[in-house]
Each structure stands twice: as structure tokens, then as C-alpha cells.
Amino acid sequence: MKRPLECNTLLEFLENTLVCQDTCSAASIPSYRDDGLTFRGCLIAHMTLTLIEMQRIALYFKTPLYKIFATSSIEKNFKQTEDDLWNTLLTASFLHDIGKLTNEYIARQTPIKHHQISAMIAKKVLDKLSNNYMALEVAYAILFHHEAIDWKIIEQSFFLFSYLQETLSPMSRFVYTINHDRLLIFEQNLCKNLDKIQQKNIITQLQYQILTQTLTYAIHELMHNQGVTLCIDREFDVAKMWEPRYIAPALALYRLLYLADNRAASARSQYWFKLAQQVDWNKLESIAQQIYSFLTRRYYYIGLSAIPEEKI
């Protein structure tokens, strides 16, 4: 089987030591649908690349996010340090797409949206590992990260008038199922990737422990909640969505996740960082046009506001 482009990009980060190259799981765990039809890519590679991209831009986002979360927190004394908060937010890097593991996603059963399931799992996991406030913030950010798709649905509908109406409808209910073998392969190979990027010092030992524990809980919640009717408004406590202290941090985290996710997704064609290096910086009059031409594709946007200065 030909290795997906996402895996080739990850292979470069790991210096040609991709841990699952002999037992490729991309066919059973794809990362996206090409034009909504054909499954392609590798979900494990995409999640790992999203984590790497979040670490790339940590320098630019850690402090502003901390200030927003600390100011908005319902706790009188926000006890988390900047690093503690960042380590929790890193979990969004693979929780954001974990709903793609369901049989319904693989079977293209469109009424069930993978980002809704992903957000629901994130909420349940972080309720156990952190607190309800943090769990809701991460869940809301994950719920929003496919807003481009949801807006297209609104645009084509005569009955929908707002984004929140589509995303958080009290009428939205879903039931999903899971293939246990797929879950096992996913967990094993993602854990191997986490171990490898920790060895490369892309994540710290503490971050590795938090991420692997989060993954274990996420797998458990996916299995435990299958076959259960899940209600969007109940799962996400939607009344709090209208409160600034909840929506402000969620939108800030959403922006970070959207950027990291799209940068990781660029590996499905040609990785954004390589493309940026191909810009002819001597031709000043055409630089903006060059950058625009390869960083805006379909409805993806890969911002240059936080290009990392150091290699990971």
C-alpha cells in the first residue's frame, strides 16, 4: 500500500523512523474524504501532525490563551500555571477528530457529524481529568472547528438562520457504533507516535503522560457511549454558550485549533512549511500573491501570523 502524504510528512519529523510503517492502518483509519466521496489519508498521522503544529506555535499562543482563560474563569483564584493550562489544551490536538473512528463516519452516514462526537468525547474525558469549566471550553472549541462545513449547510437551507442553531440544535440526537479492532489499532499506533515525538523532545515527559492518559480515557468513553442516544443540548450545556466567560476562551482556543488542524491537513497535498520555503523573497511585488496562491485552498486557511522561529 502506498504511504499517505500525511505519513510522508510525519516521517520527516521522525527522521525516517515511522513506527507503524510495517503495519499501515490508513486503509481502516482514514483522515478525510476526498470531495466527500473517497476516503484518504491516515487519521493517526493527521492527529500527530496537529499536535506537532500546536507545539510549533506554542510560543505565540500560550501566554495570550492563559490570560483569556484566567480572566474568564469561574474560579476566583485560577490556580493553573501557564504550562499546566497549555498541557490540558494540547489534548484537543487528537480529541478534535476522534469521532472519525466511528462506524458511521466510515460508512458515510451524514446525519452524524464527527466533530459533534469528538466534542462530546472530549467533554466526558476532561470532566474526569480536569474540571467542568475546562472540559466545556475544549469541547466548544472542537465543536466549532468545522464551522466552514456547517456554514455551507446553513447557506443551502431555507430553515437555518444561525451557526449555533445548526451546531447546537436541541433536536440533534445521534447514536454511534464502534469497531473494537479499529480502536485497538488506533490506540496502539498513536501511542507509539506519542512515544516517538517525546523521544524527539517535541513534547515533554509530562505532556506525554497527560496525552497518553487522555487517549486511554477517550478510547474508554468511545466504547462506553456507543449505542446510547446522545443529545447535543444536554451534552454541551448549551445555556452556558451564551455567557462571555465561556464563549471567549472557547473561541480563542478554536482559533488555535483551526490553525494547527489546517496546517496539519496541508500535508495531504504539499506541506505548508515546505511551500513557504519556496517563496521567492527577492521578488517583493509578487510575494503576497505567491503566498496567497498556496495557503488558501478550498475553504482552508493556513495563517502566517505565527510561523515558528525554531525547528522542532
CA angle (260 as vertex; 256, 263 as ends), nearest 5: 140
Q: Measured between alpha carbons, how far is residue 75 from residues 68, 78, 131, 134, 261 in Å?
A: 13, 6, 11, 11, 30
Residue 257 lies in a domain: yes
Residue 94 lies in a domain: yes
The number of beta carbons lying within 10 Å of the beta carbon of residue 131 is 16
Residue 278 lies in a domain: no
Return d(Cα 244, Cα 252) in angstroms, integer: 12
> What is the structure's pLDDT at 299?
45
The per-residue pLDDT string of the chain (312 residues; one tens digit each, 9 = 90 and over) reads: 678 889 888 888 887 766 675 667 777 888 887 766 678 889 999 999 999 999 998 888 899 999 999 888 766 667 789 999 999 999 999 899 999 999 988 876 556 678 888 999 999 999 999 888 889 999 989 988 666 565 555 555 555 456 666 666 655 778 899 999 999 999 999 999 999 999 999 999 999 999 999 999 999 999 999 998 888 778 888 778 778 888 889 888 988 998 899 899 989 888 888 877 777 777 777 777 777 776 666 545 676 666 666 555
In sequence order, the 6+-apart residues with CB closer than 8 A to the CB of 218 are: 94, 95, 98, 121, 122, 125
Residue 241 lies in a domain: yes
Q: What is the DSSP string of 59-101?
A: HHHHHHHHHHHHHH-SSSS----HHHHHHHHTTHHHHTTGGGG
Domain residues for the domain of 149 are 47-267
Segment (H or E) for 13: helix 5-13
> What is the structure's pLDDT at 66?
92
- How far apart are the two ends of the chain, measured CA to CA in Å? 29
> What is the structure's pLDDT at 51?
96
Q: Do residues 260 and 80 touch, judged by C-beta distance below 8 A?
A: no
Residue 27 lies in a domain: no
CA angle (134 as vertex; 72, 92 as ends), nearest 5: 120
Residue 182 lies in a domain: yes
> What is the structure's pLDDT at 272?
83
> What is the structure's pLDDT at 46?
94
> What is the structure's pLDDT at 171?
57
Q: What is the CATH number of the domain that holds 143?
A: 1.10.3210
Query: Which of helix, strand or coil describes residue 168?
Result: coil
The number of beta carbons lying within 10 Å of the beta carbon of residue 31 is 23
In sequence order, the 6+-apart residues with CB closer than 8 A to the CB of 139 are: 119, 120, 122, 123, 126, 236
Q: Which of 124, 125, 100 is nearest to 114 (CA)?
A: 100
- What beta strand segments (E) does 54-202 contain? 173-174
Instruction: For residue 39, list its beta bridge partners.
Output: 33
> What is the structure's pLDDT at 283?
75
User: Which string of b and e fits 216-243 if b means at least 16 CB within 10 Å?
Assistant: ebbbebbeebbeeebebeebbebebbee
Residue 256 lies in a domain: yes
Number of domains in the chain: 1
Query: Which of helix, strand or coil describes residue 104?
Result: helix
Residue 13 lies in a domain: no
Tell me the residue type at 252: A
> What is the structure's pLDDT at 98?
94
Query: Which of helix, strand or coil describes residue 253?
Result: helix
* Cell numbers describing residue 158: 431555507
> What is the structure's pLDDT at 145?
66
